[in-house]
Amino acid sequence: MRSRELVDDLGELVPVEGAPSRVVSLVPSLTEAVEVSAPGRLVGATDYCTHPSTLDVSRVGGSKYPNLDRVLELAPDLVLANSEENRPEDVERLRANGIPVWVMEASATVPAALGSLRRILTQAYGVSEPRWLVEAEELWREVAPVRHIAVVPVWRKPWIVLGRDTFAGDVLRRVGVENAYADAPDRYPRPPIDELRTRADDLVILPDEPYEFTAEDGPGFFPEAEPVLVSGRYLTWYGPSLVDAHAVLSEALGRVSPTT
């Protein structure tokens, strides 16, 4: 069968033979998106690919440090990666071994992420656009008026927060929350805790991944701010979870009195 020379988000050629049937995903969000949309084609995924919960494939380690020998043993006809979550050297090693790799760009907005997913599914996978994708686009098209300004930690020891041009930041902005560090020079600044406390005079939004903030580990560092604990999956995953995420986040943040 003649190979199709597709082009990924970074402009790299992705030569695939027909519709891929042995796919390894190195990105939890992509794992969920492709398995829900075209079930049965995944043969490998990372240890952190928790959705769908019924997924039964070989595990290849983490996104940052996958076991590339295990990936190669699975003989995939396509590997899915992300420019932020996966290391360029791992992508290059797979390509050097003749494995087509589609790299999704780290999208800064919800529409950009959904557009990238559409290309993967319709071009690389050769399937019709799934219903969840159309529904997600409709739900996230509008941008709500700002009701809150929030500091959004994603890690501590050291403290790391959402900065400029992040997918999660755009998710929050579309449900009425402005990121206090949206104008930071870095995408993931590392401010000292004293500065964070000063900036967190309205809300502090605490996801349960990548760092697992809880009611006992997080709110106590910000005594002047209203804490809101949220699912990290709803905040940072692009894919089918975006359909439920809009209602869940809107409800959780809607319970907080708006900034005056």
Same domain membership, residue 169 and residue 101:
no
pLDDT at 255: 73
Phi, psi (degrees; rounded to nearest 5) at 104: -85, 135
Amino acid identity of residue 141, one-letter, is R
Same domain, 72 and 10: yes
Q: Is residue 70 part of a domain?
A: yes
Residues 104 and 162 in one domain: no
Residue 151 forms beta bridges with which residues?
A: 204
Q: Within this chain, do residues 148 and 246 fall inside the same structural domain, yes or no? A: yes
149 and 227 assigned to the same domain? yes
Binning pLDDT at 50, 70 and 90, where does residue 1 land? very low
Residue 117 lies in a domain: no
How many other CB atoms are found less than 10 A from the CB of residue 28? 23
In a domain, 89, yes or no: yes
For 202-251, what is each residue's pLDDT tens digit? 899 999 999 999 999 999 999 999 999 999 999 999 999 999 999 999 99
Beta strands in the chain (DSSP E): 3-7, 13-17, 23-25, 42-45, 58-59, 78-82, 101-104, 148-151, 153-155, 160-161, 177-179, 203-207, 226-230
Percent of the chain with pLDDT over 70: 97
- CATH number of residue 94's parent domain: 3.40.50.1980
Residues 24-49 pLDDT 10s: 999 999 999 999 999 999 999 999 99
Residue 131 lies in a domain: no
Which structural domain, as residue segments, surrounds residue 152? 142-254
Identify whether residues 146 and 250 lie together within a single domain: yes
Does pLDDT of 170 surpass 70? yes
Q: What are phi and psi of 75, to 5 degrees?
A: 50, 55
Whether residues 150 and 193 share a domain: the answer is: yes
Residues 80 and 176 in one domain: no
The DSSP output letter for 221 is G
**Does residue 53 form part of some domain?**
yes
| Confidence category of residue 259, pLDDT binned at 50, 70, 90 | low
Residues 6 or more apart whose CB falls under 8 angstroms from that of 108 comprise 165, 166, 167, 169, 170
Residue ending a domain, choose from 91, 108, 125 = 108
Indicate whether 100 belongs to any domain.
yes
Residue 22 lies in a domain: yes
Q: Within this chain, do residues 19 and 99 fall inside the same structural domain, yes or no?
A: yes
Dist CA 127 CA 122 (whole Å): 5
Domain count, the chain: 2
pTM for the complete prediction? 0.92
